[in-house]
Structure 1
């Protein structure tokens, strides 16, 4: 059970911990557009939007990194591939502002593009900014074998330094991102040899292909991973929990942290000697408007911080829920949670629940 003492233990332990990350590192670029300055293009007659400010942040794997830094992790070591391009330069600038970050594992590849989400934000008088159609830059060809080898080499060299490893497979196109089949298999081999190291994997399309690690799927990702027949007496929640249990029952993964929005996390894991059990770790109550952007990444950061501080799976899930309950209340931004915010939120939760 999560307590004030366990929260203090987590927050005071993690400045001495090193957490590694492997996966797809994106640039999130926001273009602030002033609608009052719009002008017609001389050449086409179309509206020429006038950008008044460019804001750049590390996205995807970078969102998890930002949450780890905000919580106070002492050393953060990402392993990723970015392009030798303007977006890559922009991304490195954004990363340089992040405390505790070691960029030694970033591989710069001249034949790959830096994955980028460009988000035009239209500002109109008397109205909140609204996002126009997003522009995406991604690599849609398979990751070259030489880059896979470079990523694997970085993982192998740094493995012993990591207190935990977070794996984020953001790219939907198979084997076109950082976490390819070869990379996934090597992580499985290393994790099998070192069962005490906590490894947490998150993947949009391939969660069912991870081995010897913990996984954090949502309902849609579970459905892609596990073939479970629909039955008349099971609702969506019942199917979700059944799929989480099935992921563990196969013996492929150590535990499942199944995220289920306001319900919280469905934690499924093996029991001695060969059983399987699951239970919901409830989310903490939130009032008012919410913004779920980045909530899953903040939850991953919270779970991993609790695990490297020696907490149980259950208490790690509860701490992940607590962190996410802070970030979802930060509207219009990809939120983070500081130690002070975590402690205050715990006090507020106690008042709300008493």
Structure 2
């Protein structure tokens, strides 16, 4: 693709209507200092110091902020937060982006807003403290979410389905309900990123990495799966699921498989330290935007590959990729080639 081709495609992104349903979280970054010389007068324990706190949208929320960075102007979210300070911060961040949060429900009791802490200790991520790991969504609240999604589907072009947590919003039985909606709205394009529930997806494009693919097939993946391994096992899984498959291969690039064609993007040579946190969300958002804009898979796989390469070069953050950043990377590698 040329830079003009990429720009023309991005110009169509502003008209796309995208919904995101699934596990919404916050990432809380801060600098941690453990050697402070201070002890608590009350507990007699060492006191640690934190500084430079900043919150960023994570999990399904990171898909949303990636969509907005790509130029999507109409995005609707379907999910849950708790009645707590993290839930209020999530609403604030989404509203600041201009996201439609009418179907982001605040659960009054028994639900902690999902939070990943990211303490930076001497340049390395220290032990996390996570919130929301024990959440269990009641069936009546899930029914409310599905009603909201069904209402939204009459006005959406693309829906991203996200499953991130060990106790997810979308369990195996609930995926059956979602699959029924996928079948009922054939004009809507569905893209799923499911850490554990990928085997339950029917009729949607499924994004996986090589580890997830091996887990879904209950096989052991080689240390560095080559293209032949990904193609063989990807097609085996695709025939079971009945939908297209997008396989991310880290620095080796990515691969798209459906019943008609196979498309791939080679990995890009990147220098310096890399941070892969959130890169999968960037791929999902970029692929969703390309689907909505009517891009061919051969175009979408190249742009998603460029977007992921932009994100992994952003350290200590849940990064995003914009048109200008993608064009700059495209020009750099075009000149190098």
DSSP-derived class of the 1:54 partner? strand
Partner of 2:143: 149
Which stretches in structure 2 are left out of the alignment for 5+ residues?
A: none
User: Whole-Å Cα distance in 1 between the matches of residues 287 and 57 of structure 2?
Assistant: 20
Q: 3-state DSSP class of the match of 2:333?
A: helix
Cα distance in 1 for partners of 2:88, 2:273 equals: 35
Structure 2 counterparts to residues 32-181 of structure 1, below 5 A: 32-34=31-33, 37-98=36-97, 100-110=98-108, 111-122=110-121, 128-140=122-134, 142-172=136-166, 176-181=167-172
CA drift at 1:289: 2.1
Query: Which residue of 2 is the match for residue 31 of structure 1?
Result: 30
Are residues 38 and 334 of structure 1, via their aligned partners in 2, closer, same or farther at CA, if it must alter by over 3 Å? farther
The answer to whether structure 1 residue 245 and structure 2 residue 239 are counterparts is: no
- RMSD between aligned residues: 2.3
Distance in 2 (CA, whole Å) between partners of 1:198 and 1:157 is: 16
User: What is the CA-CA distance between 1:142 and the residue it aligns to?
Assistant: 3.6
**Structure 1 residues 13, 279: closer, same or farther in 2, change over 3 A?**
closer
> What does 1:181-192 align with in structure 2 at a 5 Å threshold?
181-192=172-183
Distance between the aligned counterparts of 1:291 and 1:71, measured in 2?
20
* Cα distance in 2, alignment partners of residues 9 and 138 from structure 1: 41
Deviations 1:79-116 (A, max 9, x none): 11111122211222222322x31111101102211111
**How many Å apart are 1:297 and its aligned residue?**
0.6
1:178-201 Cα distance to aligned partner (Å, 9 max, x none): 222344223322222333422110
TM-score relative to the length of structure 2: 0.92
In structure 2, how many angstroms separate the alpha carbons of the residues matched to 1:154 and 1:330?
Answer: 35
Give the corresponding residue for 2:288.
304
Query: Deviation at 1:213?
Result: 0.3
Q: Which residue of 1 aligns with 2:192?
A: 201
Aligned counterparts of 1:344 and 1:258: Cα–Cα separation in 2: 25
User: Distance between the aligned counterparts of 2:149 and 2:321, measured in 1?
Assistant: 28
Question: How far did residue 229 of structure 1 move?
Answer: 8.4
Q: Which residue is 2:250 aligned to?
A: 261
- How far apart, CA to CA, are the structure 2 residues paired with 1:63 and 1:290? 18
Is the Cα contact below 8 Å between 1:284 and 1:325 reproduced in 2? yes
What is the TM-score of this pair, normalised by structure 1? 0.88
Q: How many residues align?
A: 335
In 2: Cα distance, 1:340 partner to 1:236 partner: 32
Q: Higher relative CO (CA 8 A, sep ≥ 6), structure 1 or 2?
A: 2
What stretches of structure 1 of length at least 5 have no aligned partner? 123-127, 272-276
Asked if the contact 1:245–1:278 (Cα under 8 Å) also holds between the matched residues in 2, the reply is no
Once the two structures are TM-superposed, the CA of residue 227 in structure 1 deviates from its matched residue by 4.1
CA distance in 1, matches of 2:321, 2:221: 39
1:228 offset after TM fit, Å?
A: 5.3
How far did 1:235 drift? 7.8
Cα pair 1:214 1:253 within 8 Å, conserved:
no
Mapped contact 1:38–1:50 kept (Cα < 8 A) = no
Structure 1 residues 235 and 261: CA distance shift in structure 2, 3 A: closer
| Residues 160 and 184 of structure 1, relative CA distance in 2, 3 Å threshold | same
Q: 1:274 corresponds to which residue?
A: none
Distance 1:149 1:182, change over 3 A: farther
* Structure 1 segments (4+ residues) deviating >6 Å: none
